[in-house]
Amino acid sequence: MPKLNVSVFQFPLGKCTNGPSVHQKSATAHYKSEGVDGGDAQGYSMKEAQTLVNDTYHFPAGDYIIVQDQVCGVRNRAIECASLRAGVWTMMGGNLLDTSDSRWFNHSVDIHDRVEGSGQSCTPADHPYWKECPDGPTVNGFDGEEKYEAIKTLLSHSDIVAFILEHRPQVLEKLRKVTR
């Protein structure tokens, strides 16, 4: 069973998940087979992945298993091991796994570590990862000032937007009010 140390690419406008990828810069990803001769790697089926984490191996919380689905073609997603063990429904939180290693997939892989319960956002204490790792960091959402700074930084990369922000300070003030 191949595994690689991969980079975690986080959503640039803020924390969008309550899973471990919110604090990770790199992670270990386990998958079924490596890409050979320029071919794509393969992930496990959901049933294989659940069997692996529950019966076969002990994967540390924070590691990811690549699950390959057949939904309108092949879709790969990375599911955090503690979430698979707990049997909770996960969804994409905005972060991605990728590496330049040729044994990996020919594309980045969505991280599915966001968990919600009862129609409300799951608190960190309710997430399977934080239950397995109680000494781990807590997940804090972006406050208004952080959102403002992230949006301002993103927008300043455009020459037109930078010009507007420089010559129309009231636009910047409205942005600050909206994000608080």
**Domain residue extents for the chain:** 3-132, 144-178
Q: Taking 70 as the threshold, does the pLDDT of residue 62 lie above it?
A: yes
Report the alpha-carbon distance of residue 135 to residue 122 in Å, rounded. 18
Report the alpha-carbon distance of residue 7 to residue 27 in Å, rounded. 6
In this structure, are residues 41 and 35 in contact, taking their beta carbons and an 8 Å threshold? Answer: yes
Q: Taking 90 as the threshold, does the pLDDT of residue 162 lie above it?
A: no
pLDDT for res 64: 93
Least confident of 57-61, 75-79, 160-164: 160-164
Tell me the Cα Rg of the chain.
19
In the block, tokens 């320029």 appear at: 38
User: Counting Cβ atoms within 10 Å, is residue 47 exposed (0-12), middle (13-18) or buried (19+)?
Assistant: exposed
